[in-house]
Every structure is written in structure tokens, then in C-alpha cells.
Amino acid sequence: MSTIQFQFFVGTSVVFQRDASLTLHDQLQKLGKKRPLVLTDQGIMDAGIANVVTNQLDEHTYDYEVMHDIPANPPSKVVMKGAMLIQNQQFDSIVAVGGGSVMDAAKAISIMSANDGSINDYDAIIGNRTFEKQGPPLITIPTTSGTGSEVTQWAVITNEETGRKQAIGHPFMSPVIALVDPVLTLKLPKVLTAATGSDALTHAIEAYTSKNTMNNNSPLIDHIALEAIAMISRSLVRAVTNGEDLEAREEMMAGSLLAGIAFQNAGLGNTHALAHPLGGKFNVPHGIANANLLPVVMAYNVDACPERFETIANIFEPGAHKKASDAVVFVEQLIERIGIPSLSEYGMTERDYKEMAKDATTDVSSFTNPKETTEETFFELYLKASKLTV
């Protein structure tokens, strides 16, 4: 038996329960905060979900403001605008209600309001600075299941000049509290449920098969990732088929949270390395990119850790004595069943994929893939996922 060895970090207090979002006022009171900046996006406003936050703030006469123009794949100019707002108007806390885009923007806005320079300076790959100061405390209220961003120290921000999705991360960026409330996802439309759920599944699978997880021996990461895989694979089709199925929504939200905790400690893999350029350059929704790429990347990775993929296959179909490659077939069929739009709908050409393959080689997620991957192979994986060749 190999020795047990791992590092593990979660910097966020989690309140997971139906209607957890209704405890926002109590949480702000405990923190002694009176002037929050609420970050959200238009979709959350239109769905009536932002009201859950603003009604409580109105009722208890908080001196707050709302910034609701955070786009998907949030660009750095929005982050810098939010950071300036905090500096100029002295907000003492931030409440982020939304999906990964809003929560990532909120983490970046908080930390950039307290540190000078640009996102580039702190980029996990090309940056040469580290954050020295903590920003105002952040409370996250996720509305997708999802990115796990409610508990991670990472934010993914798009550089609008290069189209590169840049990861920045620091323990200072961990939200202080996550109010994880499955009720908020009951109205999440089918295609968003399918896409964001695929992202969560990808986090769990990539965490369980990451190079870090295999090089170390971490019962924590293994158990958390496998439980996430079990929950998501049991409930994703149910949540897509009947959005009002609160049990399925609850399991999706717990699975996505666990997957976030697992991957922040384990790293990710090639699915994310390939998905990020698609989001940054062509605005392909993150979950849709992952769903198209995941089975192709799993098929490529399966011989690097067959025993791990065999375990996954048997979690997907307990008691069926499945082999490693069955995990790939299960995910292919799952993606088919939940109705994910194909990459061909977004207009990328072979030439675009060639360019993006270069970006994938320097994406932070590629460094923890279980197999080393060349630019040429990244290109082939893109072509397979986009069905430009098989």
C-alpha cells in the first residue's frame, strides 16, 4: 500500500440547505457588514432570483447597490470596473448571486479592488506577481450546479485582447461563506441544466484522474470526487427532464459543490484545457464545450489510469462489473440523452482549432492531465470532439 500524502484546502464556510439563500441577512449581520455590493447578471434578474437577495437587503435597510451587467465568460474590463466601484464607493462586502461567471467576476473584483496592477500580472501561468492584500469578504449564492466556484479560490477571466481565459487564484480569493440553495435552480432552463451539470461531472472525473491525485494518495480527494460522480450521474438526466424535481436538483447541487472542492485540491485535465480557448475566443458556453470534449478526452486518457476509469464505470452502473472503457461509453450516452448542442453550431474552422491547440498546451489544466499531450494531439482531440474527423 502506498503512503498517504496530500494537501487539502477549503477556505469557505458552507451552508447547504433548501432556502439557504434566505439566511443572507443573518450572515451579513454575523460578519458585521452593512454596505454590500451585489453582483449578478441579467439572466438572474429576469428569472426573479436576484430578488431573493435584494428583498432581504431592502427589508433590513442595507445601504447597497447592484451591478447586474456581468456577461458570461467575464472579461477583465468588467472586473476592473467593479474593482473601481468598490474603491470609490467603499463597499464593505460583496454578495454574488449567479452562476460561475458572476461568482468568478466577484472573486476577481474583490481581490483587484485591494491590489494594484492588472489581471495579467497575477495570471497563474504568465503572471509574475502575487496578491498581497485581501479584498472585501465575498458571500456566494450559486444558481447553477455548476462550476463549484462558490467554494474555490479560482476565477477564470477572459482577456478581451487575446481571447485567452486566464486563471487567477489565491487563498485570499476564497469566498468567506457559500449559501448553497438548490431551490434557486428549480427554474434553470433545460439546456443550461445540461451544460452546467456536464461541467460539474467533468470536474469530478478530471479531479479523480488528475496527475496530482495519482501521484499522491489522498483518501479525501478520492472519496469526495467519487461521491460527486455518483450524485451527478444519478441525478443529471432527472434534473434535465423535470426541472422541478427538487431531490434531483438537490443532488446536482451537492455533487457540483463536492466536485468543486475536489478539483480545487486536485487540479483538472485536458477537457478544461481545450474548453477554455473555446469560451475565450468563440464564447462557447463552458459546460457545452466540456460536454462535447469530455468523452473524447476520457477515451484518450483511459490507458493512463485504467483502474481509475474502471472504478468510475462501476460507480456509473453499480453491480454491473464494468471495464474502464465502459466509463467512456456511459458518458457519451449521457451527453446524448441530455441534449447538448454540438460544437459545429459555433462556427469554428480547422484553422481556429489549430490556433486554439497552441493555447491548450499552456492552459493550467493541461499540467495536471494524467497524460502529457502535444499541440498536435490537442488539435486531433478538437477535431474528434467537433466531428470534423473521427
**Contacts to ligand NAD by CB under 6 A:** 41, 43-44, 47, 49, 72-73, 98-102, 104, 143-144, 146-149, 152, 154-156, 184-185, 187-188, 192, 196, 199, 279, 286-287
Dihedral of the alpha carbons of 225, 174, 147, 97, in degrees to the nearest 10:
140
The C-alpha atoms of residue 252 and residue 102 are separated, in whole angstroms, by: 19
The residue (of 170 and 272) whose beta carbon lies closer to Fe ion is 272
CB of 153 to Fe ion, least distance (A): 15
CB of 211 to ligand NAD, least distance (A): 18
Residues in the chain: 390
| DSSP character string of 92-134 | -EEEEEESHHHHHHHHHHHHHHHS-S-HHHH-TTT------S-
What's the distance, CA 109 to chain centroid? 17
| DSSP character string of 308-336 | HHHHHHHHHSTTS---HHHHHHHHHHHHH
The enclosing H or E element of 66 equals: strand 65-67
DSSP state of 217: B
3-state DSSP assignment of residue 178? strand
> Is residue 363 at the binding interface for Fe ion, with CB under 5 A as the rule?
no
Residue whose Cβ sits closest to Fe ion: 199
The residue (of 151 and 324) whose beta carbon lies closer to ligand NAD is 151
Torsion sign (Cα): 371, 168, 380, 323: positive
Q: Which does 75 bind (CB under 5 to 8 A by kind): ligand NAD, Fe ion, none?
A: none
CB of 63 to ligand NAD, least distance (A): 26
The residue (of 150 and 310) whose beta carbon lies closer to ligand NAD is 150
Q: Which of residues 190-229 bind Fe ion (CB under 5 A)?
A: 199
The residue (of 56 and 152) whose beta carbon lies closer to ligand NAD is 152
CB of 165 to ligand NAD, least distance (A): 6
User: Could you identify the residue written with the cell 478581451?
Assistant: 160
The residue (of 101 and 213) whose beta carbon lies closer to ligand NAD is 101
> Is residue 359 at the binding interface for Fe ion, with CB under 5 A as the rule?
no
CB of 86 to Fe ion, least distance (A): 26
Q: Which residues bind Fe ion (CB under 5 A)?
A: 199
